[in-house]
Structures are given as structure tokens and as C-alpha cells.
């Protein structure tokens, strides 16, 4: 993607990476079904323009120090925000600014590279100190989220799912001052994506999507195999436990049966012994009678 002033988006971020970051943010916000189209590229153009304009306006109030450097610091930024309504949106964001946090990593493009390029552009004697850089990163990040959020709401209201340059222009006119938003509109109107660049971006994006799908499919297969193995182990354990219980029940029944049989045998033996004793007593009595009879 190339803009009429030679600004190249891919100098600060690859198109595929940019789209992936925006898509990830949309998913995180619960808007996974929204399509960014070329909105992401236009968003970077808008944010870089705001950053460039901000630094240019600060330079009007930067004084040369004894060291020979022109240092852009937090005080210069504060004076700029308080002296003009051009940066009312930045003044609003500053109410929630924290100097403890570092914001550059969450911006969709390499903002540090943009700032370094601006320092080089305005001469080696210009220096933006670390506090000022962090504030600039915070403002650009806040603007980034503000633009995306309002754009999504506009598209939702229109019952659509595609974010495009027209939506971006309208949102910029709403959030940013007329002077700056008009410049952004002119720049966005001059965006030209050549067929080759668009094809390359699509190919790169398709390849990454295919890789992600393959990785996702492999992960799903791996999960399924793990689940299958776990289920197999659980079933095996359950069957083993059931067999063990059945064996124990059978053993218990067999023991009861054996005990009953043994008890029956013992009872029968006792009865036989009693009968034997009775017979012996009876025989003894009869024998005694016979002997008495003979003696008579």
C-alpha cells in the first residue's frame, strides 16, 4: 500500500500482521464476525498523520538548549494541549494516563520506528525524551481504540459487518478536530493499493490463515486423541473395577454357599452320631433283656 507522499504502511508493519492484530482485537471485544477490509491500512495512515502533526506542532514551541539539542518533553506537550482545541481528544485521554505503564507494544504498528524517523526527519539535534514518547504512544493507542470502537458501533447500527475507509473518515471527523480530520480525509482519499500489493497481501494472509487452520486442526486432532485415550483408560478402569467387584461378589457368594454346605454336613454328622448312639443304647437294652431272660 502506497500513499501519495511515499508513506508506506509496510515500513512500520506488514499488512498481514496488521490485519491479524486488528482481527485479534475485534475478537477480544466480542466482534469476531466483523471484516476489516482495508480499514486497518487506513487506520495506520490516520494514526501516523496525527503523530506527525502532533510533533510538528510541538516543534513550534521547542527552544534550543545549551547542549544544542531541541528537546520535546512532557511540558511542551502539555502546553500544546492547553493552548489549542485542536487536540481536545488528547486532553480527554490524558485524564487516564499513567506514567508507570508503557503503551507502545499495544499499538497496531511500530510506533517507535515512526518516532525515530520523525527525529531523523527534523534533524539530528531533535530529541523526544522518554516521558514524551510514552505520552505520545498513549495518545495514539487511545485514539486507535476510540476509532475502532466507534467504527464498529457505526457498522453495527447500519446492520453491516464490514469496516471500510468511508466509516473511518466519518469517525475521524467526529473524534478529531476539523483542521486535522480534513487533512486525514484528503490523505485517505489518496490511498492507492496496487493490484500486485493487494494480491501479495492476500496471498500472505491466505498462507497464514491456512497455517493457522492446519495448526488448529492438528491441535484438535491431538486433543481428540488425548480425550480418546483418557476415555479408553477410564473405560478400561471401569471395566476392571466392575470385574473386580463381580469376582468379589462371586467369592462372597461361594463362601456363603460353602459355609452353608459345611454347616449342613456338620448337622448331618451330628444327627448320624446321635442316631448311632441311640441305636447303641437300644441294642444294649435289648441285649440286657435277653441276658435276663436266659438267666431265668
Contact 151, 26 (CB under 8 A): no
Q: Where are the alpha helices (DSSP H) in 60-177?
A: 74-83, 88-93, 111-121, 130-157, 165-175
Contact 137, 104 (CB under 8 A): yes
Q: Is residue 110 part of a domain?
A: yes
pLDDT in tens, 163-172: 999 999 999 9
Task: Give the C-alpha separation, 112 to 116, whole Å.
Answer: 6
* pTM of the predicted protein model: 0.63
pLDDT in tens, 197-249: 444 444 444 455 555 556 666 676 676 677 777 777 877 788 788 878 888 88
Residue in this structure with the C-alpha cell 490511498, named with its chain if needed: 191
How many domains are contained in the chain? 1
Q: Which domain holds residue 162?
A: 9-193
Q: Is residue 223 part of a domain?
A: no
Task: Give the C-alpha separation, 93 to 36, whole Å.
Answer: 25
Q: What is the CATH number of the domain that holds 64?
A: 1.10.20.10
Contact 81, 208 (CB under 8 A): no
CA 37, 194, 46, 190 dihedral sign is negative
Amino acid at each position: 500500500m502506497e500513499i501519495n507522499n511515499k508513506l508506506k504502511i509496510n515500513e512500520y508493519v506488514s499488512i498481514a500482521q496488521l490485519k491479524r492484530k486488528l482481527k485479534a482485537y475485534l475478537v477480544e471485544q466480542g466482534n469476531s464476525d466483523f471484516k476489516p477490509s482495508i480499514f486497518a491500512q487506513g487506520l495506520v495512515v490516520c494514526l501516523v498523520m496525527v503523530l506527525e502533526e502532533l510533533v510538528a506542532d510541538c516543534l513550534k514551541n521547542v527552544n534550543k538548549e545549551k547542549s544544542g539539542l531541541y528537546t520535546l518533553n512532557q511540558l511542551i506537550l502539555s502546553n500544546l494541549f492547553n493552548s489549542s482545541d485542536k487536540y481536545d481528544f488528547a486532553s480527554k485521554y490524558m485524564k487516564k494516563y499513567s506514567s508507570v505503564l508503557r503503551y507502545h507494544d499495544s499499538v497496531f504498528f511500530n510506533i517507535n520506528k515512526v518516532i525515530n524517523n520523525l527525529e531523523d526527519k527534523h534533524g539530528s539535534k531533535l530529541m523526544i525524551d522518554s516521558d514524551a514518547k510514552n505520552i505520545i504512544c498513549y495518545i495514539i493507542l487511545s485514539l486507535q481504540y476510540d476509532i475502532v470502537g466507534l467504527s464498529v458501533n457505526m457498522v453495527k447500527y447500519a446492520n453491516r459487518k464490514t469496516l471500510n475507509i468511508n466509516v473511518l473518515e466519518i469517525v475521524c471527523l467526529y473524534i478529531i478536530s476539523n483542521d486535522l480530520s480534513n487533512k486525514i480525509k484528503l490523505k485517505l482519499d489518496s490511498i492507492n493499493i496496487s493490484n500486485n500489493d493487494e494480491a501479495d497481501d492476500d496471498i500472505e494472509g491466505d498462507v497464514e490463515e491456512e497455517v493457522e487452520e492446519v495448526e488448529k486442526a492438528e491441535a484438535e486432532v491431538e486433543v481428540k486423541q488425548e480425550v480418546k485415550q483418557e476415555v479408553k483408560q477410564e473405560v478400561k478402569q471401569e471395566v476392571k473395577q466392575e470385574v473386580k467387584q463381580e469376582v468379589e461378589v462371586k467369592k462372597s457368594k461361594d463362601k456363603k454357599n460353602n459355609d452353608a454346605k459345611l454347616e449342613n454336613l456338620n448337622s448331618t454328622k451330628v444327627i448320624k452320631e446321635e442316631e448311632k448312639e441311640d441305636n447303641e443304647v437300644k441294642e444294649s437294652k435289648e441285649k440286657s433283656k435277653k441276658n435276663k431272660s436266659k438267666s431265668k
